[in-house]
A and B are shown apart, each in its own frame.
Chain A
């Protein structure tokens, strides 16, 4: 983002639980959704973001400000993202990924998705089910059939037959 001279334009964002946030336009337009609104001239007053709650929006704005303050240096941006996400639990990550999806912020979307994928990496099916509370709705026969069909994915992985 090129630093603008004079007073930077500020936008006001409103979460779905009616919290208001001020954010520099140069940071906010990381969201393609917001950028389109700005370009269409709809950003005069308050921009309502109906799918994002205040807690998540605060976090997203922290990210917007943080990442846009870093000059075009992919390494530094990556390490900022890593640090930013390092202490977030899954609930928060799920909120963030939904917000990023809604706001059309590909860099945050990618970073959070990668972070969630990292949790699943190299884990057994049983572990992932427990970790995310995924209910196994297959019958034992169905599950055996799906496993058989995907035996090619178990190359070098210990089969887990836990429940």
Chain B
């Protein structure tokens, strides 16, 4: 059989688009150099993926490393050309990923976003993954209303924006949205947050990190929610969650929060990471508050991490003797693992404190002063005393201990 020349270019456009679907955005776009028939095929492949990394902010190198070969204007026009071609040829972009940044008063980017969101919505795209980063420090740039007005959204990540009434003035039901990540944001109040949540009915992942000027957060009626991560700076925050399918809950902050979770999941995990600060949770209240929190999470496998030494200004702080007051009788919450930062002077009190409110399956103590032999010897001595020497006058929790293993390395 005579080999036909250039069979690949003769394949129907739909087939070529499908082939390009399996290449990276760069490789797909590079096929335009092959020959004239290939010039614009990549623009209409079913998945488009555009990413613009902003130049590093002044005095902040964390976003350095990635440098764009093109400037923002070129980037915007490449995205615009591709989407216009799809529109003109009546091709639906099934998956559209856009990652870009917004400056203050960046009207050009915003007007392109407006146009693209409308195009995607008109062509029926259901997988619009948008990642928007503010060029400035958190709290300076307002999130443009077009973002929460884009009904095609499947995943949304916004970082360092202000979310106020204006940001949600065009809010539509986001019925395709599966994942919402709000990072380093400033949310005006719980009404704004509540309205957003109420319009994301099928969301599966929710990750919120930022400032809310209210101390009550309600996450209601999220029937598909599986993962919820919450990082908040608000003192004495109270979080109410109603999510029947929840399998993972994570809370990270400097305060012991009040959390109420309603879920029908039989097996779920909760991870509580506290940056302990005595000025936020006075010593006399820390363990009672923590106990309340653990009790409200007791249906889950709890992973508890204390990521700061329990001392302040290098002064060891002594947990009051009456810590067991936080415990009502013989009920101890089971905790999968307890990970805390060791501080020698208060080590024993802390251990007592935790055992006064819960029963961890594993306890891991950490110290950053790993090379410090005095410290290691100190902890070892202390544990030795508790476990061996004072067996007779043991602490109450000692009776529940099944196994103690001491590894010194």
Contact = CB atoms under 8 A, between A and B. Distances in A.
Contacts of A157: 26, 30
B29 A97 contact: no
A147 B34 CA distance: 10
A153 B27 contact: yes
B18 A146 contact: no
A157 B32 CA distance: 16
B35 A94 contact: no
Interface in A112-163: 113-114, 116-118, 120-122, 125, 128-129, 132-138, 143, 146-147, 150-155, 157
B27 A135 contact: no
Interface stretch (B3-11, B93-101, B216-224, B281-289): B3-11
Given A116-B19, A118-B22, A147 B7 contact: no
B174 interface: no
A116 B17 CA distance: 12
A51 to B, nearest CB: 11
Contacts of A155: 26, 69
Given A101-B15, A117-B20, A132-B6, A150 B30 contact: yes
A154 B27 CA distance: 9
Majority DSSP secondary structure for residues of A touching B: helix
Interface in B97-135: none
B31 A128 contact: yes
A110 interface: yes
Contact of B19 (A113, A136, A137, A146): A113
B36 interface: yes
Contacts of B27: 120-122, 153
A143 B70 contact: no
Interface in B299-336: none
A32 interface: no
B15 A150 contact: no
A114 to B, nearest CB: 4
A94 B7 contact: yes
B12 A101 contact: yes
A118 to B, nearest CB: 7
Contacts of A101: 12, 14-15
Contacts of A58: none
Contacts of A116: 8, 19
B40 to A, nearest CB: 10
Given A97-B15, A152-B69, A135 B5 contact: yes
A20 interface: no
A154 B24 CA distance: 12
Contact of B18 (A113, A137, A143): A113
Given A135-B5, A146-B33, A114 B22 contact: yes
A94 B8 CA distance: 7
Interface in B1-60: 1, 3, 5-9, 11-12, 14-15, 18-23, 25-27, 29-36, 38-39
B21 to A, nearest CB: 7
Contact of B6 (A110, A135, A147): A135
Given A98-B15, A101-B14, A150 B20 contact: no
B78 interface: yes
Contact of B30 (A118, A134, A137, A154): A154
B33 A143 contact: yes
A128 B18 CA distance: 17
A114 B1 CA distance: 26
A75 interface: no
A17 B317 CA distance: 89
A41 to B, nearest CB: 28
A91 interface: yes
Interface in A5-23: none
Contacts of B280: none
A125 B33 contact: yes
A109 interface: yes
B370 to A, nearest CB: 38
Most B-side CB within 10 Å, residue of A122, A134, A136, A138: A134
Interface string A61-102: 000000000000000000000000000001100100110010
B331 to A, nearest CB: 45
B32 A146 contact: yes
A113 B15 contact: yes
A113 B13 CA distance: 12
Nearest to B12: A101
B29 A153 contact: yes
Nearest to B18: A113
Given A128-B31, A151-B70, A113 B36 contact: no
Interface of B: 1, 3, 5-9, 11-12, 14-15, 18-23, 25-27, 29-36, 38-39, 68-70, 74-75, 78
Q: Which 6 pairs between the two chains have the least Cβ-Cβ distance?
A: A117-B22, A153-B26, A113-B18, A132-B8, A114-B22, A153-B30
12 contacts: A97-B18, A97-B19, A101-B15, A110-B18, A113-B18, A132-B9, A134-B34, A134-B38, A146-B32, A151-B70, A152-B69, A155-B69
